[in-house]
Structure 1
Amino acid sequence: MKSTETVILACILLGVMLLTTQLFEKPRIKVYKLQYACDPDGPADLLFPFCNTSISDDDRVEDLISRLTIQEKIEQLVNTAANVSRLGIPPYQWWGEGLHGVAISPSVYFGGATPAATSFPLPCLSVCSYNRTLWNKIGQVVSTEGRAMYNQGRSGLTYWSPNINIARDPRWGRTQETPGEDPKLSSGYAVHFVKGLQEGDYDQNQPQAVSRGPRRLKISACCKHFTAHDLDRWKDYDRDHFDSKVTQQDLEDTYNPSFKSCVKEGQSSSVMCSYNRLNGIPMCTHYELLTLTVRNQWGFDGYIVSDCDAVALIHDYINYAPTSEDAVSYVMLAGMDLNCGSTTLVHGLAALDKKLIWEGLIDMHLRNLFRVRMRLGMFDGNPSTLPYGSLGPEDMCTEDNQHLALEAARQSLVLLKNEKNALPWKKTHGLKLAVIGHHADATREMLGNYEGYPCKFVSPLQGFAKVLSDHSPRISHERGCSDAACEDQFYIYAAKEAAAQADAVVLVLGISQAQEKEGRDRDSLLLPGRQMELVSSVVEASAGRPVVLVLLSGSPLDVSFANDDPRIQSIIWAGYPGQSGGEAIAEAIFGLVNPGGRLAQSWYYENYTNIDMSNMNMRPNASTGYPGRTYRFFTDTPLWEFGHGLSYSDFKYTMVSAPQSIMAPHLRYQLCSSDRAVMTSDLNCLHYEKEACKESSFHVRVWVINHGPLSGDHSVLLFSKPPSRGIDGIPLKQLVSFERVHLEAGAGQEILFKVNPCEDLGTVGDDGIRTVELGEHTLMVGMVQHVLTVENWREGHGEL
Structure 2
Amino acid sequence: MSLKYIFLLVTVFSLFAFNAIDKPKYPFQDSTLTVEERVDNLVGMLTLEEKISQMVNNSPSISRLHIPAYNWWNETLHGVARTSYKVTSYPQAIAMAATWDTTSLKTMADYSATEGRAIYNDSQRQGKTGIYLGLTYWTPNINIFRDPRWGRGQETYGEDPYLTGSLGKAFVRGLEGDNPKYLKASACAKHFAVHSGPEWNRSTFNAKVSDFDLWDTYLPAFRDLIVDAKVSGVMCAYNAFDGQPCCGSDKLMQKILRDDWKFTGYVTSDCGGISHFWRTHKTHPTKESAAADAVLHGTDCECSGDPTYRALLKAVKDGLISEKEITTSVKRLFTIRFRLGMFDQAEEVPFSKIDIAVLESDAHKAHALKMARQSMVLLKNEPFANPKSNVLPFGKDIKKIALVGPNADDKAVMLANYYGFPSRISSVLDGLRSKPGVEIIYEKGCNLVDNKVFKPNWKGNNFSFGGKKGFQVAYFKNTKWEGQPASISRVEKIDFQWGDGEQVADGIIANQFTMRFTADYKADETSDVVFELKGDDNVKLFIDGEKQIETDLKGGYYTLKAQKAKVYQIVIDYLQYTDNAEIELNMGTVESASAETIAQRVKNVDAIVFVGGIAASLEGESMPVSVEGFKGGDRTNIELPKVQTALMKALKATGKPVVFVNMSGGAMGFEWEAENLPAIVQAWYGGQAGGQAIADVLFGDYNPAGRLPITFYKNVNDLPDFEDYSMSNRTYRYYKGQPLYAFGHGLSYTNFKYSNLKAARSEKANEVLVTVDVTNIGKLAGDEVIQLYLSHQNVGYQTPIRALKAYQRSYFKAGATKTISFKLGANELSEVNGIGKVIRMSGNLAISVGGAQPSPTLLAQGKSIQEQFTLN
| TM range, smaller chain | 0.7 to 0.9
Give, in whole Å, the separation in 2 of the partners of 1:531 and 1:734.
Answer: 35
- The answer for the alignment partner of 2:197 in structure 1 is 231
Q: Does the residue aligned with 2:827 lie in a helix, a strand or coil?
A: helix
Given the superposition, is the C-alpha separation of residues 173 and 42 from structure 1 closer, same or farther in structure 2, using an over 3 Å criterion?
farther
- The answer for the alignment partner of 1:73 in structure 2 is 51
Give, in whole Å, the separation in 1 of the partners of 2:19 and 2:294.
Answer: 40
> Does 2:440 correspond to 1:460?
no
- The answer for the alignment partner of 2:417 in structure 1 is 449
CA offset at residue 785 of structure 1? 4.1
Q: Deviations over 1:350-399 (max 9, x none)?
A: 10110111111111011110000000000003x46631112112100001
Query: Is contact 1:423-1:590 (8 Å) kept?
Result: no
> Does 2:569 correspond to 1:603?
no
Query: Is contact 1:224-1:273 (8 Å) kept?
Result: yes
Give, in whole Å, the separation in 1 of the partners of 2:213 and 2:423.
Answer: 42
AA matched with 1:75 = S
State which drifts further: 154-163 or 170-179: 154-163
Q: Deviations over 1:653-688 (max 9, x none)?
A: 1134213xx69xxxxxxxxxxxxxxxxxxxxxxxxx
CA offset at residue 346 of structure 1? 2.1
Query: Is contact 1:46-1:87 (8 Å) kept?
Result: no
AA matched with 1:602 = T
AA matched with 1:70 = L
> Does 2:420 correspond to 1:478?
no
Matches within 5 A, 1:38-49: 47-49=25-27
> Does 2:620 correspond to 1:513?
no
Give, in whole Å, the separation in 2 of the partners of 1:461 and 1:350.
Answer: 60
Matches within 5 A, 1:280-429: 280-341=243-304, 342-381=306-345, 383=346, 386-420=349-383, 421-426=389-394, 428=396
> Does 2:668 correspond to 1:557?
yes
Give, in whole Å, the separation in 2 of the partners of 1:294 and 1:430.
Answer: 57
AA matched with 2:274 = V
Q: Deviations over 1:9-37 (max 9, x none)?
A: xxxxxxxxxxxxxxxxxxxxxxxxxxxxx
Query: Is contact 2:441-2:602 (8 Å) kept?
Result: no
Query: Is contact 2:142-2:222 (8 Å) kept?
Result: yes
Given the superposition, is the C-alpha separation of residues 147 and 475 from structure 1 closer, same or farther in structure 2, using an over 3 Å criterion?
same
Higher helix share: 1
Q: Deviations over 1:503-546 (max 9, x none)?
A: 111100010123211111100111124111011111112x1x22
Give, in whole Å, the separation in 2 of the partners of 1:355 and 1:647.
Answer: 65
CA offset at residue 88 of structure 1? 1.1
Q: Deviations over 1:321-340 (max 9, x none)?
A: 12110111111111111111
Q: Does the residue aligned with 2:820 lie in a helix, a strand or coil?
A: strand
Q: Does the residue aligned with 1:176 lie in a helix, a strand or coil?
A: helix
> Does 2:732 correspond to 1:631?
yes
AA matched with 2:440 = I
Mind listing any 5+ residue stretches in structure 2 that lack a counterpart?
1-17, 384-388, 454-591, 623-632, 851-858
Give, in whole Å, the separation in 2 of the partners of 1:702 and 1:362.
Answer: 55
- The answer for the alignment partner of 2:99 in structure 1 is 129
CA offset at residue 308 of structure 1? 0.8
CA offset at residue 485 of structure 1? 4.9
CA offset at residue 563 of structure 1? 1.0
CA offset at residue 770 of structure 1? 2.2
Q: Does the residue aligned with 1:537 lie in a helix, a strand or coil?
A: helix
The one of 755, 764, 767 aligned to 1:654: 755
- What do you get for the CA RMSD once the two structures are aligned? 2.1
AA matched with 1:769 = K
Query: Is contact 1:201-1:216 (8 Å) kept?
Result: yes
The one of 822, 838, 850 aligned to 1:753: 822
CA offset at residue 635 of structure 1? 1.0
CA offset at residue 267 of structure 1? 1.3
The one of 147, 167, 188 aligned to 1:189: 167
CA offset at residue 699 of structure 1? 0.4
- The answer for the alignment partner of 1:574 in structure 2 is 683
CA offset at residue 316 of structure 1? 1.2
- The answer for the alignment partner of 1:777 in structure 2 is 845
- The answer for the alignment partner of 1:798 in structure 2 is none
CA offset at residue 734 of structure 1? 0.5
- The answer for the alignment partner of 1:530 in structure 2 is 643
- The answer for the alignment partner of 1:614 in structure 2 is 723
- The answer for the alignment partner of 1:220 in structure 2 is 186
Normalized against structure 1, the TM-score is what? 0.82
Given the superposition, is the C-alpha separation of residues 88 and 483 from structure 1 closer, same or farther in structure 2, using an over 3 Å criterion?
same
Given the superposition, is the C-alpha separation of residues 533 and 201 from structure 1 closer, same or farther in structure 2, using an over 3 Å criterion?
same
> Does 2:118 correspond to 1:144?
no
Normalized against structure 2, the TM-score is what? 0.76
Given the superposition, is the C-alpha separation of residues 430 and 589 from structure 1 closer, same or farther in structure 2, using an over 3 Å criterion?
closer
Give, in whole Å, the separation in 2 of the partners of 1:404 and 1:576.
Answer: 16
Mind listing any 5+ residue stretches in structure 1 that lack a counterpart?
1-39, 203-214, 620-627, 664-691, 793-800
AA matched with 2:94 = C
AA matched with 2:240 = R
The one of 33, 42, 48 aligned to 1:55: 33
CA offset at residue 484 of structure 1? 4.7
State which drifts further: 62-71 or 139-148: 62-71
Give, in whole Å, the separation in 2 of the partners of 1:479 and 1:258.
Answer: 41
Give, in whole Å, the separation in 1 of the partners of 2:312 and 2:233.
Answer: 22
Q: Does the residue aligned with 1:564 lie in a helix, a strand or coil?
A: helix
> Does 2:598 correspond to 1:495?
yes
Query: Is contact 2:24-2:30 (8 Å) kept?
Result: no
Give, in whole Å, the separation in 2 of the partners of 1:101 and 1:41.
Answer: 42
CA offset at residue 730 of structure 1? 1.5
Given the superposition, is the C-alpha separation of residues 198 and 428 from structure 1 closer, same or farther in structure 2, using an over 3 Å criterion?
same
Given the superposition, is the C-alpha separation of residues 386 and 728 from structure 1 closer, same or farther in structure 2, using an over 3 Å criterion?
closer
